[in-house]
Amino acid sequence: MQSLALPLAALSLAAAPSAPGGQPASKEIDRSHIDEKYKWKLGDLFASDQAWAKAKAAFGKKLAGFERHKGHLGEGPKALADALSELGALQNDLQRITVYAHARSDENTRLSKPRAMRAEADSLSVQLDTVTAWLRPELLTLPEATIRTALAQDKRLRDWDFYLRDVLRWKPHTLAAEEERIVAMAGELSIAPSTVYGVLKDADLPYPTVKLSTGEEVRLDPAGYARTRTSRNRVDRVKVFQAFFGALKTFERTTGATLSAQLKAHIFDREVHHFTSTLEAALFHDNIPVGIYRQLVKDVNANLPTLHRYLKLRQRMLGLPELGYEDLYAPLVSEVERHYSAEDAVAMTLAAVAPLGREYGKKLAHGLRAGWTDFLPSTGKRAGAYSTGVYGVHPYQLLNFNGQWDDVSTLAHEAGHSMHTLLAEESQPFPTSGYATFVAEIASTMNENLLVHQALHQARNDQERLALLGERLESLRTTLFRQTMFAEFELAIHERAEKGEALTGEALTTAYLELVRRYYGHDQGICRVAELYGDEWSFVPHFYYDFYVYQYATSLIASTALSKAILEEEARGDTTARDRYLALLSAGGSDFPGNLLHRAGVDLTTSAPFLAAMQEMNAVMTEIESILSPAK
């Protein structure tokens, strides 16, 4: 069982700095100048940093007393229930401490005090793992009958039934208590590569400034890059890409060292816990068969012609003599100018999720207006977007809202995560409230899908439909194909590291460039990928997360199937599919994710759901082609 609710990263990159409400701005913005209504309410966690510090100190004292349970778990149901209940309380306290510290740090990554708070919270997490490392080994020394008897006799243990069954599953990969304690102590070392990389990318890397054809000067930090890569001017796009990736190239050796160090941490975990591969070690946590990962990569590679069909269609719609990697984010329909305020995005998201029922919409509306969300970018703010939460409080979500369609979609995406968190916490006790990433991204991509369908329903003309259909294709490209490309890269570099190969920054760039060129048809002349862009791997933080990204693709496959069923049933006045889906969200982590998804109506052990997603993608392209070339 995970002790913390980790941030769930959005698929989109960060937006550019904005004025209140989402108006683009090219200058740096101080957070103090942003209206409070666009900021999250961390006061719901702690009234101040000082209150946080007191809670942290109190947590340390509680933690020190936990080892009194060591050696006593088998003395009876009460002893076992006392230990697990105290463990849950410690984990919940640590959630609150960690989410607050991470949020404070993410508000401005340049400030040393919040960064120190984050580091202290992360250290507490390692300490908790160290102090409790004996627990699972001791549980495994107990006869299974003893555990089952305890479950029947002490009501407090009923909340821990799934946890205890999962502990038994881990028996082949669990070390002796003292060995697990040492491994846990090494946990702080394993997060160091990601920490160093994050500071470099978000705070220290000297991003370049470019002057666009409009005369605007833009600093190409992650936010500036995300905004300007969508320029309608191809000369500007090329300038932006070359400057941005040129900056990444400068630190290729450093980022290569941090990622290589992270891979070694994953290999360490594989070896000490007796897994056959790093992939198996990562997927075992959620009981996901390794075959699902490899089948996804196989299915995507077999369907690259569908991606290439889209790339050719994109080239046609942009009117380009050839398509380059710089052209993948340019708007497909130049005549449609769309800009949204944060208030627009909230209203559109609430309208889109109407098929999920009145109660779902009511709860989300309350949250989006009650301090769940930190909407706008500011100088030093963490790039990207995520959702997290604390049991007994409420979800939190970080955005970098810039007023583009992608930002509206990101709000819907993170709102899906937040509602998943809320429904799970309302329905589950703490031990089963945390859900696996494998199902987490279903909730987020479901909302994105519903948003597109809602917008298509309200489109006023063919140009708007083309723009929205193009956005749907982009979602399918970036989530099914791009994320699976990331997954294939991640698998390849882990396998090379496991063979003892040295993975320098240069080697990683060579491997990534070969892969991205194959996916995008570089050698067939479908999409030209400049050699410089091989450094894109160094801008993907998910490679530090240990086989995380494939779940974006599997989740979109699942949510596509589920949303299709929900919308079809809504038209008939039926709610069966919707009710199964909401039951999936409310189930939290009360069962293995594959079982939960199967009960919701999707079986990812087969290729059928993926092929259905490909069918939708091809249908969208056919509709676009019919608009572009109507029948005579």
Cα–Cα–Cα angle for 7, 286, 104, rounded to 5 degrees: 15
414 in active site? yes
| Among 50, 209, 34, residue whose Cα is nearest residue 107 | 34
Catalytic residue among 414, 441, 448, 490: 414
Q: How far is CA 220 from the centre of its chain?
A: 23
Residue 211, helix vs strand vs coil: strand
CA 422/CA 393 separation, integer angstroms: 9
Cα dihedral 361, 367, 372, 373, rounded to 10, equals 50
Identity at 385, one-letter amino acid code? A
Say which residue the tokens 């003892």 belong to.
500
Give 473-542 as a 3 state SS string: HHHHHHHHHHHHHHHHHHHHHHHHHHCCCCCCHHHHHHHHHHHHHHHCCCCCCCCECCHHHHHHHHHCHH
In order, the DSSP letters of 14-61 are PPPPEETTTEE-SS---GGGS-GGGS--GGGT-SSHHHHHHHHHHHHH
List the beta bridge partners of residue 628: none
- Radius of gyration of the CA atoms of the chain, in A: 24
Find all residues with CB under 8 Å of 602, minimum gap 6, and list them.
Answer: 557, 558, 561, 562, 609
DSSP letter at 384?
A: S
Count CA atoms within 13 Å of residue 228 on its CB side: 30
State the CB neighbour count (10 A cutoff) for residue 399.
Answer: 29
- H, E, C per residue of 554-607: HHHHHHHHHHHHHHHHHHHCCCHHHHHHHHHHHCCCCCCHHHHHHHHCCCCCCC
Q: Which element (helix H / strand E) includes 370? A: none
3-state secondary structure of 400: coil
Active site members: 414
